[in-house]
Structure 1
Amino acid sequence: MLRTLGGYGLAACCEIGGCYAFWAWLRLGRSALWLVPGVLALLMFAWLLTRIDAAFAGRAYAAYGGIYIGAALVWAQLVEGQPPDRWDLAGAALCLAGAGLILYGPRPG
């Protein structure tokens, strides 16, 4: 379980960081050189998701969505200085609960 959550957490950092590099370039006027680490981070993100222990890609990606939402709120606070409000936290808790159901809910067979 911890390995799965760690993998999802690292994948989220890579995806958010990679996308943020594009945001920085297009929205914040940073150098196009930001795209180099951004693309590398997005490649790492895709590779990391294939390492998740799940029988089906769709289920792995669906559960990842909840982890991503929580990680994006952490990113917003740590990198952009925007702390989450109570609605952000409530929404993230709902999504994380859903991710837990997807990952660890009882399955027949």
Structure 2
Amino acid sequence: MALLLFGLAAAAEIGGCFAFWSVLRLGKNPLWLAPGLVSLVVFAWLLTRSEATYAGRAYAAYGGVYIAASLVWLWLVEGTRPDRWDLAGALLCLAGAAVILFADRSP
């Protein structure tokens, strides 16, 4: 459940941030900022649905998923295929996220 939630949050965050990127860097119509802001609000709401006890732990685990999702965005939306270094970095980040998410913290 956590990975699905983080995946949806990543899509919302990346979409929202890309709206700003499009306006400020690519010269797109400023009206793109409205759905971008909505997307960022959805991102924040989704992240609060995490089962993590602490916000910092949720953010840290989410970070690995965000990095991998960003590379999917790079490929599917921006048309640039991630290289081996992108993929190696994403795998390292996902491994770190898995440690944070699935560690046995029982006393």
Alpha-carbon distance in 2 for matches of 1:4, 1:87: 26
The answer to whether the aligner puts 1:96 opposite 2:101 as a matched pair is no
The equivalences for 1:10-89 within 5 A come to 10-89=8-87
Q: Which amino acid aligns with 2:72?
A: V
Alpha-carbon distance in 2 for matches of 1:82, 1:13: 17
C-alpha displacement of 1:38: 0.2
Q: Which runs of 4+ in 1 moved over 6 A?
A: none
C-alpha displacement of 1:108: 3.1
Q: Which amino acid aligns with 1:14?
A: A
Give a deviation string over 1:5-56, Cα, whole Å, max 9, x none.
1100000000000000000000111000000000000000000000011111
Q: Which amino acid aligns with 1:70?
A: A
Q: Over the residues paired in the alignment, what is the CA RMSD in angstroms?
A: 0.6
Q: Percent identical across equivalent pairs?
A: 64
Q: What secondary structure sits across from 1:80 in the alignment?
A: coil
Q: Which amino acid aligns with 2:84?
A: R
Alpha-carbon distance in 1 for matches of 2:92, 2:68: 10
Unpaired runs of 5+ in structure 2?
none
Alpha-carbon distance in 2 for matches of 1:4, 1:104: 10
User: What residue is the counterpart of 2:2 in the other structure?
Assistant: 4
Unpaired runs of 5+ in structure 1?
none
Give a deviation string over 1:29-86, Cα, whole Å, max 9, x none.
1000000000000000000000011111100000000000000000000000011000
C-alpha displacement of 1:106: 1.5
